[in-house]
Amino acid sequence: MPTQKATRSQVRLYNQQLVLRLVYSGEADNRAALAQKSGLTKPAISNLVAELIEEGLLEEGGFGESTESGGKRPRLLKFVSEARQVIGVSINYDQFIGVMTNLDGQIIAQHRSEFTGTEFDDVYPVLLDVINGLVAQLSAPLLCIGMGVPGVVDNNDRMVAYVPRFGWRNLPLSQILGDHYGVSSYVANDSHLASMALFAFADEPPRGGLATVIVSQTVGVGIVSGNASVQYGSEIGYLRGRDMSTLDERLGWNRVRQRAGELGVEYGSVYLQQEKLSYLHIRQGVENGDAGTIHLQNELAENVVEIFAWIIALVRPQNIALSGKIADLGDQFLDVIVDKLSGLVMPRLIEETSFLVDDSPDLMSVGAAANAIQQELGLATAN
């Protein structure tokens, strides 16, 4: 019966993931330990291990210590992180940034391409070109594809519900990519993925939860709970404030550039009247005490601080990261935000929170690859 077949295959997949997870995390390194840790029978473990060895995901190594009762020395098992490769892609500004990683999340190749336009039919061919650029570099079979979008993603049916910047609605991107490449494809909100990447690949694992606020063309927030069991993220830039303007209209780069032009004229600021203005010009203007850029920085901080305050009040993560293009404003901008927080949030809550800035451009694509690995194999590529 089809239903029973599906259930058996799901159980097998679940058990394979469990075995992989136990070996990957170092909780078990031989068949007996796997049986003990998983609660599965020894014959079931032997079959699962044989399947995973055949698939190249596990390999046998040397022999471990014999048990106290003096039994046979167990054959050690090792996870083969090079057995498969994974592609993660995200949208950064007007660019697709793609990475190819092994199963440890280690980057093997990167590919980027700029796009213009907002219609899916304009943007999709460029996305395929970027994935193809990484497919060309594969040195092991492709396991799956992860994708990050600056929008609202329904995690249950992996549907892109809404991408405000492009006007995309109810887009089955996961299915489209999966059908095109013949592998599983996982789509998630890019702020969620950035948070996940920061959490997983930080030099030291963040203690407590982590919230990541991404501000580039749009605004998003990603959350990872302290033990990484709860993760989510969403675009929030379309939310309207008291003056009925959206966060994107107040913090998106187009608005920042326009406002810089106005303040540049008002204050006669050379920093704000650059033809190719970037956040780095604003940063330099602030550092040199330019009144116009300090005014602009304060306006930006006023808007970001509200987001931080809501996050602290609702989620109380122990860490908040600021990322996206705005991160080029650096630590001094973060200091201004934290100063302003004291007017909105209890000082004790601020003291309990660590704040950081991360300006890595490939944060979201690395997160997309990590998310795909987690979804496909049940492996958290965390510290």
Partner 1 sequence: MRAIKAITNDKTGIFQEAVLDGLHTTAQQTDFQVEVLTTDNVNADPPLDDTKGVVVIANAVSNDVLSRIYKMEIPITLVSHRHPELPIPAVMSDNAQGIRTLMAHLIRQCGRSSPVFIRGIPEQQDSQERERAFRQELLRHNIASEASRIIDGRFSSEAAVVAIQKLLAAGFPFDCLIAADYVMGIAAQDTLQSAGISVPGEVSIVGYGDDRAAKKAGLTTVSANIRELGQRAARQIISQINGLHISGTTTINVELIIRDSCGCHEPL
Which residue ranges make up the site for partner 1 (CB under 8 A)? 96, 107, 109-114, 125-126, 128-130, 132-137, 278, 280-281, 283-284, 287-288, 328, 330
Smallest distance, Å, CB 94 to partner 1?
12
**Distance from C-alpha of 58 to C-alpha of 50, rounded to nearest angstrom:** 9
Cβ nearer to partner 1, comparing 136 with 239:
136
Please report how many Cα atoms fall inside a 13 Å half-sphere around the Cα of residue 77, on the Cβ side.
27
Smallest distance, Å, CB 142 to partner 1?
13
| Whether the Cβ atoms of residue 97 and residue 379 lie closer than 8 Å to each other | no
Cβ nearer to partner 1, comparing 114 with 121:
114
Cβ nearer to partner 1, comparing 89 with 337:
89
What order do you get walking across the sheet with 152-154 strand by strand?
152-154, 159-163, 168-171
What's the token pair of residue 102? 């092994």
Cβ nearer to partner 1, comparing 128 with 140:
128
Tell the burial category of 348 from Cβ atoms under 10 Å away from its Cβ (0-12, 13-18, 19+). Answer: exposed
Cβ nearer to partner 1, comparing 131 with 304:
131
Residue closest to 223 by CA, chosen among 307, 146, 320? 320
Cβ nearer to partner 1, comparing 15 with 284:
284
Residue closest to 163 by CA, chosen among 191, 130, 199, 195? 191
**Distance from C-alpha of 231 to C-alpha of 244, rounded to nearest angstrom:** 30
What's the token pair of residue 70? 């003096």
Residue closest to 311 by CA, chosen among 225, 201, 227? 225
**Distance from C-alpha of 233 to C-alpha of 32, rounded to nearest angstrom:** 39
Query: Which position has the token pair 């930006």?
Result: 300
Cβ nearer to partner 1, comparing 234 with 365:
365
Smallest distance, Å, CB 337 to partner 1?
19
Say if strands 210-215 and 168-171 run parallel, antiparallel, or are unpaired: unpaired
Smallest distance, Å, CB 28 to partner 1?
34
Cβ nearer to partner 1, comparing 141 with 241:
141
Q: What does each C-alpha distance from 86 to 52, 63, 154, 184, 187 come to in angstroms?
A: 18, 31, 22, 10, 13
Task: Characterize 203-238 residue by residue with b for buried, 16 or more Cβ atoms within 10 angstroms of its Cβ, and e for exposed.
Answer: eeebeebbbbbbbbbbbbbbbbebebeebbbbbbbb
Cβ partners under 8 Å of residue 225, min gap 6: 209, 231
Cβ nearer to partner 1, comparing 332 with 342:
332
Cβ nearer to partner 1, comparing 76 with 126:
126
What's the token pair of residue 188? 């998630």
Cβ partners under 8 Å of residue 262, min gap 6: none
Handedness of CA 353, 357, 360, 364 (dihedral sign): positive
